[in-house]
Every structure is written in C-alpha cells, then in structure tokens.
C-alpha cells in the first residue's frame, strides 16, 4: 500500500510539473505571437547581419594590421594573374617549365624597370627647368591677382598664402600616412618588393598545388564550392588585369599624344604616369590628369592648359562611357556605382593600397558569391588533390581521409 501511495504521489507531481511546463510554453507562444511577423523577421536578420559584420570587421582589422604582408601578396596575385597565362602559353609550345617561368618573370621585371627608368630619367632631366618655370608661373599669377580686375591687396594675398601653408602643415600627417600606406620606410618597401618577387615566383611554379592545398583545408562537402568559386574568381581576376592594362594603355596614349601635339614638355613621363595611375580607379586618373594640366600651365600658359584639360576630360569620358561599360563591365561585371563605392571604401580603410585593390577584390568576391549561390557546384565532384605534390608542400601533413 505504501508503494502504491508513493507511486501515486510521484505521478501527481509529474502531472503538475507537466501542466506547469505546458502553461509556460503556451505563455511564451502567446508572447511570441504578439510580436508582429515583420519584427520577428527583422530580428532574425539583424543578429545574422551583426555576426557577418563582426566577422568582416575582424578580417579587415587583421588585413590592416598585416598590411606589410597582405599588400605584397595581393600585388603578387595580380602579377600572377597576368603572367600565368603567358607562362602556360610558353609551356604549351614545349618550353621547359623552368624556362617559361624565368622568361615570364624577366619580361615583367624588364617592362616595369624600363617604364620606371624612362619616366624617372625624363623627370630628373627636366626637374630643374620645371622648378624654374613653376616659380615664374607663380610670380605671374601673383602679379595678375594684384594688378588684375580682382583688386586683391598684397596683405590679402600674403594672408591667403599663410592660411594655405598652415592648412597643409596641419594635414601633413594625414597626407604622409596616406601616401605611405603601402610601406612607411625604405626597409618595408624593399621587404615588400622581395616578398612580391618570391610570391609571384612560387605562384608561377606551384600555383595549382598551392590551390589544391588550400581547397584541402576545407571539409570535403565544401571543396566543390570552394574550388569552383575560386576558379571563377581567378578567371575574373585575369580578365580584370588584361582589361586594366588595355584601358591604361589607351589612356596613356591619348593623354600623352595630346600633350605632345600641344607642345607640352615631359609628354613621355606624363604618359607613363597616366599608365601607372590608371591602375588606381578614379583616384589615379584625377591625379595624373591634374599633373598634366599643371605642367601645361607652367610651361605653356592658360590657353594650352585649358586645351590639355579638354584632352584629359575627353580621354576620361571615353574611358568612363565607352571602355569601362563595354570592356571592363563585361570582364568583371561590376556596376560603376559599385566601383565608386568600393574605391571610396578601400581608400578610407587602407589608403592608396585600398583604392588599388578595391575593384579586383569586389569583382572576385562578387563572382565567387554568385557562383556559390547558383548551386552549380552541387553537380560537380569534390576536387581531389593531385597525386604529385610540389616539394614546397611535401612536409605538410595530410588530413585523414584527404582526397578519398
């Protein structure tokens, strides 16, 4: 009898606890149902967006802290996107691998060194004359302000000059930090240059093996998506580099030829600077165009300077309304508004380096995300690593079941 009574009490206690639990669940369900559906959806999206934003913020912070390593690696990837097809072309024509890689590297080095040598030699040769002409132009401008129709007094002019000098001095730290965002010292620059050369060399030699190793880090179920999106992003990056070189060449020829026809000195250095500056969207075009107009103003006066400005604006309009939509838009599939936002954001976060890499990063990320979202990778077999491994990766242990 005692056991029966004890069992009955236990059952009644369980029933009471179950009833209390049901009441609590019903109350919570009623409270949840009282929240509008739109608010529940917004809350569900909000914490997910906050999580994604937090991860992106950490990634950007790490990139900025490690910029002396990240920036050279990014430069090496861009160079490799240009040189890998050239090296593969040579290998398809039965060139030995070592010779194809050597020729590709030497070609890139000689091209860059030749452009820099030609441009710097021309600038150094004309720097003294440019300084003298700048002083003469400044005196003429000052005389025109003082004796012209504006009736500006000497005291007003000197006060304006002092204000401009004070403003430049106050903002000198910002200007210097932005200009030296890639490397703050000569040592950083040389170290970054060596890292660019070594990274480019190893990508040319072992690019496929490196990529297989990266894909192998991820779980097997994710490898097809990672591999497919990476290959799509690599193709987009190659298209970007090729098209960017074409656009930069057209800009340099247009502005350099215009300066030559107008009789503006230093036409060759201007063309070289326009070519190099074109790799930085928007910012590079504005700076190099302003430099061309300044040289024309100093040497040739207002009339030729206005004509040079017209040439620069014409070339930039052709680039912005013809070359970019027809060529660049087809190659990278990024809207011009997206380009402006990407460049602005990149320059704010990482200065000149951010403006340089903003468009290729945005284009590659856009293609990779669209590839993963399309689900095409679900129809492909997960990529297995190559049986032949590079000596660079032989010491890396493989995970259990890797490639099975």
Q: Could you list the pLDDT tens digit for every one of the 404 residues in the chain?
A: 555 555 666 566 666 666 556 556 555 565 556 667 777 778 888 888 899 889 888 887 888 788 888 888 998 999 999 899 999 999 998 899 889 999 999 998 898 888 878 877 777 776 666 677 667 766 666 666 666 666 666 666 667 666 666 665 655 554 445 444 444 566 777 888 889 889 999 999 988 889 989 998 988 888 888 998 999 899 889 888 888 888 888 888 888 898 889 888 888 888 888 888 887 766 677 788 888 888 888 888 888 888 988 988 888 777 766 766 666 666 666 776 777 787 788 878 777 778 778 888 888 888 888 888 887 777 765 555 444 344 433 433 444 443 33
Same domain, yes or no: 89 and 167: yes
Same domain, yes or no: 371 and 307: yes
Same domain, yes or no: 251 and 193: no
Same domain, yes or no: 299 and 253: yes
- Please give the full DSSP string across 291-324, using - where no structure is assigned: HHHHHHHHHH-HHHHHHHHHHHHHHHHHIIIIII
182: which DSSP letter? S
Same domain, yes or no: 210 and 298: no
157 to 133, 144, 147, 186, 301: CA distances (angstroms)? 21, 11, 12, 39, 21
Give the containing element (helix H, strand E) for 107: helix 97-147
Same domain, yes or no: 377 and 235: yes
Number of domains in the chain: 2
Residue 71 covered by a domain = yes
Residue 120 covered by a domain = yes
Residue 19 covered by a domain = no
Same domain, yes or no: 318 and 235: yes
The span from the CA of 339 to the CA of 329, in Å, is: 10
Residue 6 covered by a domain = no
Range of the domain at 375: 222-381
The span from the CA of 347 to the CA of 301, in Å, is: 34
Same domain, yes or no: 272 and 300: yes
Residue 48 covered by a domain = no
pTM of the model: 0.68
Same domain, yes or no: 202 and 228: no
| 274 and 117 Cβ atoms separated by less than 8 Å | no
Same domain, yes or no: 211 and 248: no
The span from the CA of 147 to the CA of 139, in Å, is: 12
Same domain, yes or no: 190 and 310: no
Can you say whether the dihedral through the CA atoms of 145, 151, 155, 160 is positive or negative? negative
Boundary residue ending a domain (217, 238, 269): 217
Boundary residue ending a domain (163, 191, 217): 217
Same domain, yes or no: 209 and 248: no
């Amino acid at each position: 009898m005692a056991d029966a009574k004890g069992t009955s009490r236990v059952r009644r206690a369980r029933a009471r606890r179950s009833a209390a639990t049901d009441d609590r669940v019903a109350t919570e369900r009623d409270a949840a149902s009282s929240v509008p559906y739109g608010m529940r959806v917004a809350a569900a999206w909000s914490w997910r967006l906050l999580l994604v934003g937090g991860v992106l913020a950490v990634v950007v912070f790490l990139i900025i802290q490690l910029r002396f390593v990240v920036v050279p690696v990014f430069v090496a990837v861009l160079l490799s996107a240009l040189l890998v097809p050239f090296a593969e072309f040579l290998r398809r024509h039965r060139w030995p691998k070592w010779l194809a890689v050597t020729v590709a590297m030497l070609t890139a080095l000689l091209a860059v060194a030749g452009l820099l040598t030609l441009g710097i030699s021309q600038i150094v040769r004309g720097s003294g004359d440019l300084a003298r002409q700048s002083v003469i132009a400044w005196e003429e401008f000052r005389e025109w302000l003082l004796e012209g129709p504006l009736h500006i007094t000497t005291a007003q002019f000197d006060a304006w000059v002092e204000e401009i000098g004070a403003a430049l001095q106050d903002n000198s730290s910002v200007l210097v930090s932005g200009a030296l965002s890639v490397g703050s010292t000569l040592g950083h620059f040389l170290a970054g240059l060596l890292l660019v050369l070594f990274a480019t060399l190893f990508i040319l030699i072992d690019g496929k093996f490196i990529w297989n190793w990266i894909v192998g880090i991820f779980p097997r179920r994710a490898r097809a998506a990672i591999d497919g999106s990476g290959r799509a992003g690599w193709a987009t990056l190659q298209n970007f580099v090729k098209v960017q070189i074409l656009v930069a060449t057209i800009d340099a020829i247009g502005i350099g030829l215009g300066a030559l026809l107008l009789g503006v000195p230093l036409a060759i250095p201007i063309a070289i600077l326009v070519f190099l500056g074109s790799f930085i969207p928007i910012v590079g075009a504005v700076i190099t165009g302003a430099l061309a107009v300044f040289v024309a103003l100093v040497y040739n006066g207002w009339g030729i300077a206005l004509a040079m400005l017209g040439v620069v604006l014409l070339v930039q309009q052709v680039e912005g309304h013809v070359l970019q939509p027809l060529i660049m838009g087809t190659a990278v599939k990024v809207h011009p508004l997206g380009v402006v936002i990407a460049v602005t954001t990149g320059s704010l976060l990482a200065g000149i380096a951010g403006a340089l890499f903003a468009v290729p990063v945005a284009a590659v990320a856009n293609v990779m995300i669209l590839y993963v979202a399309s689900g095409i990778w679900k129809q492909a077999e997960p990529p297995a690593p190559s049986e032949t491994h590079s000596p660079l990766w032989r010491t890396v242990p493989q995970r259990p079941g890797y490639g099975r």
